[in-house]
Amino acid sequence: MRKIIYLMVLSLCIINKGYATQEDDDLKLLEELGIAAEEPVEYKYPDVEPEANLFLGYRFIDTSGQEQGFEYEYLNDSPVIGGEYRLFNYPHRLHADLDLKSHKDYHGDIFYAYGDLFLTRWVDNTIFHNLDNIELISPDPSSSTYRIDRKDEDKEYGVRTGMHSLLLRLKTPDFPAHAYFRAYHVEKTGDFQQRSLLGSGYYNDIERATQERKIKWMTGTYEVGANSHLGHADIEISHIEKRFDAKGDDVIFDSYGPSLHHLSGGTFPHNQMPELKGSANVIKVHSNYNESVVASATFSLKEKENKTSGAKADIFHAAGSVQWTPLTRLTFFMRYFHTDTETDNPGTASITDVNGNVTNYPGTVKPSVSKTTDAISVTGRYNPEPGVTLKVKYLFENTDRDNADDWNLKETTRKNTLALSAALRVIKGLDLRTEYVHKSIVKPSYSTEPDSLDKGTASISLTPVPGVNLFVNYIISREKREDLDFSETADARDRNTRTDNLMGSGVFRLMDNLSMTAGYAYMHYRVRQDIVYGDVPVIDKDVQYKDMAHVYSASLDYAPVEELNILAIVTHVRSAGDFYPGSADLLNPVSISSFSKQKIRETVYSLTGDSECMNSLSCGLELSYSETRDVIDNDNDSNPNGHAYIVMLKFRKKLE
């Protein structure tokens, strides 16, 4: 780290010298042309009085049944507190904001800057996620071959996610050179349901189990770097470190019966969370934007390691782009990138039971896949007249792999993509945008990757009269795969995927103090493909999976008097999904499709009011109600009905 900091300081010194030389050359040129340099006029910043406010309140919660009605709310009564403070007294600038709903759901933001020499910002966000406790169901309760063990019956699960970011930036006086430090943490704490396959793991001795798993996971990313303007180019160098640490139940031990690899059975670990680390060194260079030709380049060296398994990867990445603007209305872009990934992993594997006894697995571990990817794209953008933009893009990508045969992968995959788009202002207040993308893939990597993809997008934005804004967007895509690749058989053929997404919204300003917003979204995803089951291949032809959702929303914003503002929102979601296998093994004694068939209705109502109670004191009330209903009441799913109420009272005081 000391070497890195030393190199950055040295780079800033070199950049400073180069910048000063460029500035001297510019002044000398002005002098030779007989042009006097203008004396800078000092800007005087206005005096701004500090602003502050504080609010206090309380949240009342009532729930019944499943808590997924408010999936991302901590559903416990709690006081609320928060406030905001602003200060602008140049060179000092300060902004602090806090909104604390509970100890598991809050937002904080602190920003401070001293002139343009120093800047820092700390942002802290947390959110709580209510998770399912899925009840496993046995198709044949009397069977001793297929068993269920619920170790977490009636347990409620939830995970708190905290996202914390810090930025520190220093600038050298009188010229644009910066040194910076960034830190970003994502921390997850709580518990969730762990579902495991126990027994001996064979078809005649299978036990499905559910149990509680406590977690405390932390992902940390740290970056230190420097950047500046050097003559006709900008340059930035940085070093990045990333870590993932798993605490809590990082590994779970359970009893397993005798099997091929554990003849006597025992208590062994499973579902272990690995510890990961990585680092990267990055250099970025960019030319000035005020030229007809603009170029940029990025080079990075990355190292990744799984500390638990010993697997490693070294990645070299280089990318470059050139933008050429021969005419005001015509621009060309060319981009190229190269990525070389070298991977390595231990050649053997073992497992250690709860007593410390080590069992070595026979044979060797397959070598990891290393690959090299090269891609180049060319884009042309043309504006034949104001309000019309036409764009054409072509992308070619080639991937070569080592050790591909060991993983039943193709050694080389080639992708060709062509995209055509247009943006048109038909008349004032009416804009149209369209795009068509065609992708062809030669020797796809996996069976879920298509041979060809076609995607179309169209959107309309309309403002027919002042106060009315309408928007509609539709996306359709088709994917086709004509030769699926299952290692056991070559008889599986087709996979077809279709996706339809429609979204529309309207904003209506009915009066100066009354506005309404309405929205609708439709999502439909369908897959039809051949699937292969078992060691002895059994092909299920044209198996269909689909899911669909309709989302309706409406809101009303009304201010009947100056001191009162009311916002009402309602959202309704209708979703359904199903899986349609045809193999007899999946239809008896109970069809597996009965476990996947879903039809859910969810509705959320929200009413918010804010009024001035007395001088500089405002009173706020927030009412929220959510209802979740399982329409088909399927005995083989885990979707119980439920509802929840949230009532929050807040009193805000403006501080002088």
Task: Using alpha carbons, select from 109, 156, 168 the residue that is nearest to residue 128.
Answer: 156
For the chain, percent of residues with pLDDT exceeding 90:
59
Determine the Cα angle at 493 with ends 491 and 497, to 5°: 155
Q: How many CB atoms lie within 10 A of CB 230?
A: 20
**What's the confidence (pLDDT) of residue 65?**
67
The predicted structure's pLDDT at residue 29: 57
pLDDT at 32: 62
Cis peptide before 176 (omega within 30 of 0): no
Q: Is the pLDDT of residue 370 over 50?
A: yes
pLDDT digits (tens, 9 = 90+) for 334-367: 999 999 999 999 989 888 889 888 888 888 899 9
With a cut of 70, say whether residue 380 has pLDDT above it.
yes
pLDDT at 19 over 60: no
Digit-coded pLDDT (tens) for 185-195: 999 999 999 99
Q: Which residue has the higher pLDDT, 460 or 19?
A: 460
pLDDT band at 202 (very low <50, low <70, confident <90, very high): low
In sequence order, the 6+-apart residues with CB closer than 8 A to the CB of 334 are 321, 322, 376, 377, 378, 379
At position 282, the amino acid (one-letter code) is V
Is residue 46 within a helix (H) or strand (E), and if so which, with residue range?
none
The amino acid at residue 182 is: R
Q: Which of 14-23, 38-47, 410-419, 640-649 has the highest mean pLDDT?
A: 410-419
Q: How far is CA 269 from the centre of its chain?
A: 31
pLDDT at 10: 42
* pLDDT: which is higher, 448 or 520: 520
Q: Which DSSP helix (H) or strand (E) runs through 25?
A: helix 2-32
Q: What is the pLDDT of residue 9?
A: 42
Contact (CB, 8 A) for 85 and 102: no
Residue with the larger pLDDT of the pair 24 and 608? 608
Task: Please give the DSSP secondary-structure letter assigned to residue 362.
Answer: S
User: pTM of this prediction?
Assistant: 0.85
User: Checking DSSP bridges between strand 205-230 and strand 146-150, what pairing results, if any?
Assistant: parallel
pLDDT at position 234, please? Answer: 93
Residues 25, 48: Cα–Cα separation, whole Å: 40
Q: What is the pLDDT of residues 474-498, one digit of tens each?
A: 999 999 998 887 766 777 778 999 9
Residue 23 has pLDDT above 60, yes or no: no
User: What is the enclosing helix (H) or strand (E) of 114?
Assistant: strand 105-114
Give 17's pLDDT tier (boundaries 50, 70, 90): very low
State residue 1's pLDDT score. Answer: 45
Residue type, 210: T
For residue 202, give Cα distances in angstroms to 206, 208, 334, 577.
6, 12, 55, 30
Token reading at 458: 């169209």
Element (H, E) at 139: none
How confident is residue 2, by pLDDT bands cut at 50, 70 and 90? very low
- Residue 39 pLDDT > 70, yes or no? no
pLDDT of residue 226: 96
Q: Is the dihedral of CA 84, 87, 92, 93 positive or negative?
A: positive
* Helical residues (DSSP H) of 232-275, grouped into ranges: none
Output 387-390 pairs: Cβ under 8 A, ≥24 positions apart: 387/424, 387/425, 388/422, 388/423, 388/424, 388/425, 389/422, 389/423, 389/424, 390/421, 390/422
Percent helix, strand, coil in the chain, to 5, is 5, 65, 30
Nearest Cα to Cα of residue 377 among 322, 422, 424, 324: 322
Task: Give the burial class of 408: count Cβ atoms within 10 A of its Cβ; 0-12 exposed, 13-18 middle, 19 or more buried.
Answer: exposed
| Mean pLDDT comparison of 55-59, 528-532, 652-656, highest-scoring range | 55-59
Q: Residue 137: its pLDDT value, please? A: 80
Between the alpha carbon of residue 463 and those of residues 427, 431, 468, the distances in Å are 10, 9, 6
- CB environment 125-149: b (16+ within 10 A), e (fewer): ebbbbbbbbeeeeeeeeeeeebeee
Take residue 241 and report the two structure tokens written for it.
Answer: 């470190």
- Rounded-to-integer distance, Cα 194 and Cα 248, Å: 13
C-alpha to C-alpha distances, 135 to 146, 589, 632, 633, nearest whole angstrom: 15, 19, 17, 14
Lowest mean pLDDT among 23-27, 285-289, 584-588: 23-27
Lowest-confidence segment of 5-9, 55-59, 67-71, 512-516 by average pLDDT:
5-9
Among 492-496, 504-508, 605-609, which is the least confidently predicted range?
Answer: 492-496
Coil, helix or strand at residue 610: strand
Question: 72 is written with which tokens?
Answer: 């991302």
Contact 333, 344 (CB under 8 A): no
How far CA 578 is from CA of 65, 85, 420, 526, 599, in Å, comes to 24, 52, 35, 10, 9
At residue 643's C-alpha, the angle toward residues 103 and 66, to 5°, is: 75
For the stretch 277-336, pLDDT in tens is 999 999 999 998 777 899 999 999 999 999 999 999 999 999 999 999 999 899 999 999
Give Cβ neighbours of residue 472 (< 8 Å, ≥ 6 apart).
459, 460, 502, 503, 504
| Average confidence (pLDDT) over 153-177 | 93
The pLDDT-based confidence of 583 (bands split at 50, 70, 90) is confident
Mean pLDDT of the chain: 88
Q: Give SS3 for 595.
A: helix
Residues 204-235: tens digit of each pLDDT? 778 889 999 999 999 999 999 999 988 888 99
Tokens standing for residue 587: 């239809």
| Position with higher pLDDT, 389 vs 594 | 389
Band of the pLDDT at 263, cuts 50, 70, 90?
low
According to the model, what pLDDT value does residue 305 have?
96
Alpha-carbon distance of 593 to 580, in angstroms, equals 6
**How far apart are alpha carbons 40 and 19 in whole angstroms?**
19
| Burial class, 67, CB count within 10 angstroms (exposed 0-12 / middle 13-18 / buried 19+) | buried
| Helix (H), strand (E), coil (C) string for 180-195 | EEEEEEEEEEEEEEEE
**CA-CA distance, 171 to 117, in Å (whole number)?**
5
CB 451 within 8 A of CB 444: yes
DSSP string, 144-197: SSEEEEESSTT--EEEEEEEEEEEEEEE-TTS-EEEEEEEEEEEEEEEEEEEEE
Q: Round to whole Å and give the CA distance between 553 and 585.
A: 43
Which secondary structure element, helix H or strand E, spans residue 509, and what is its range? strand 495-511
Q: What is the pLDDT at residue 576?
A: 92
- Checking if the pLDDT of 514 tops 70, the result is yes
Mean pLDDT for 152-172 is 94
- The C-alpha atoms of residue 253 and residue 351 are separated, in whole angstroms, by 12
